[in-house]
Structure 1
Amino acid sequence: MERIICLIAGYLCGLLQSGYFYGKTHHIDIRNHGSGNSGTTNALRVMGPKAGAIVFFGDFLKSLLPCLAVRLVFQNQPGMIYLLILYTGFGVILGHNYPFYLQFKGGKGIAATAGLIMAADLRMTLLCLASFVLIVAVTRYVSLGSLIVATIFVVWMVIFGTMGAYGLNPNLLPEFYIVAALISGQAFWRHRANIGRLIHGKENKISFGSGKTK
């Protein structure tokens, strides 16, 4: 029951589409511009650095806060609390990616994944942040940096979960790995078009001078 509650609560939080609502304040539907999604990168592309920052932190916080709330509410269940955090974060990502009131047309879930990562493990957060900044600085591909973060996340969860870092009951570890893989898999699925463009050398690069992609 706790899993279902966390997943549903997460999905409801994920429905707070920062990019969509911020765009509406500027009289545009961001989904009709740029790449057609309501995430951070498209907000940056369409409306500039300020919009990109606002949308990122909005989507980041809508994942971070409910995940932290789960840590507080279920602190008396240390043997499964990190599994419940993953369910909550997964719910947020699904709500962000597939908002029912926007015909299931949302973002790609990377900022929401970042909020989950910070709620789960500060060490992983620092590694993901450093890797993302380095990859984007060198290649100027935001999508590649995002996919690296998704990869680090699932590998970290498996390694440190196996080492007992999260205090999970051993019988919950397979489920823990599956949910982590589903979260990472969402990032790859939502970036499938980007992956194709990366392979063919046609992916958009971010321009640090203007703060927009080209």
Structure 2
Amino acid sequence: MFRLISLLIGYFIGCISMGFIVGKITKTDLRKKGSGNLGTTNALRVLGFRAGLATFLGDILKGILAFFLCRAIFPDNSLLAGIYAGTGAILGHDFPFYLKFKGGKGIASTIGLVLSLVFVFSPLFGVITIGVGILGVAFSHFISVGSIAFYISIPICAFFLGFPLESIGIFTALAILAIWLHRANMKRLKSGTENKFTLHKSVQ
């Protein structure tokens, strides 16, 4: 039962869409601009660096808040409760019910979950997985490539660091979901039409 409750708590926290909130503040509906996505990348490209940073940090906090809240509620199953809650936050971010289930791709909220696990399980987990994502962006200049590399590295790294098998299964499912959500990006990468990431163009 703690799994379902944690997942639901995380989902409703994840439904707090920072991209939607930032868009309301700036009188811009990100669902109708750029890629139509409510995540950091679209906020960065459409609204600039400050809006992108606010979206990014807010979405990271959702994963952290969900993780530690459910960890406190279920101390006897704290690790798995936190992971299920973090997973719920990612799903809430990706599929917010009040926005017709159209949200972001969960990258920042997943970073929040990873950072939470850095504190309670292994710092190496965050160093490796986030490092892989950063290197993916640095070498390819595509956020989508770094994001996919980041997600794929999570279950692999969790396996070698000795995470519970149940959590590795969850991370694998999240990686598959992330790849599916990036399917349009992969098509653009294949056709050579994907937008490259250059930070200086986004700073306002």
TM-score, length-scaled by structure 1: 0.87
Report deviation, 1:157: 1.9
Residue of structure 2 aligned with 1:93, choices 90, 95, 103: 90
Whether the aligned pair in 1 keeps the contact of 2:143 and 2:197 (CA below 8 Å) is yes
Distance in 2 (CA, whole Å) between partners of 1:157 and 1:128 is 9
Whether the aligned pair in 2 keeps the contact of 1:20 and 1:30 (CA below 8 Å) is yes
Counterpart in the other structure of 2:184: 193
Alignment partner of 1:11: what SS?
helix
Whether the aligned pair in 1 keeps the contact of 2:72 and 2:78 (CA below 8 Å) is no
Counterpart in the other structure of 2:4: 4
Residue of structure 2 aligned with 1:176, choices 167, 179, 191: 167
Alignment partner of 1:115: what SS?
helix
Counterpart in the other structure of 1:45: 45
Give the counterpart letter for 1:42 in structure 2. Answer: N
Q: What value does the CA root-mean-square deviation take over the aligned residues? A: 1.5
Alignment partner of 1:104: what SS?
coil
Distance in 1 (CA, whole Å) between partners of 2:169 and 2:135 is 28
Which sections of structure 2, spanning at least 5 residues, go unmatched? none
Report deviation, 1:196: 1.6
Give the counterpart letter for 2:156 in structure 1. Answer: V
Distance in 1 (CA, whole Å) between partners of 2:82 and 2:171 is 10
Indicate the percent of aligned positions where both proteins have the same amino acid.
40
Alignment partner of 1:210: what SS?
helix
Distance in 2 (CA, whole Å) between partners of 1:176 and 1:28 is 38
Pair 1:131 & 2:132 matched:
yes
Equivalent positions of 1:50-89 (< 5 A) are 50-75=50-75, 77=76, 80-89=77-86
Counterpart in the other structure of 2:99: 102
Which sections of structure 1, spanning at least 5 residues, go unmatched? none
User: How many pairs were matched up?
Assistant: 199
TM-score, length-scaled by structure 2: 0.91
Q: Return closer, same or farther for 1:11/1:191 CA change in 2, 3 Å cut-off.
A: same
Whether the aligned pair in 2 keeps the contact of 1:86 and 1:180 (CA below 8 Å) is no
More helix as a share of residues: 2
Report deviation, 1:113: 0.5
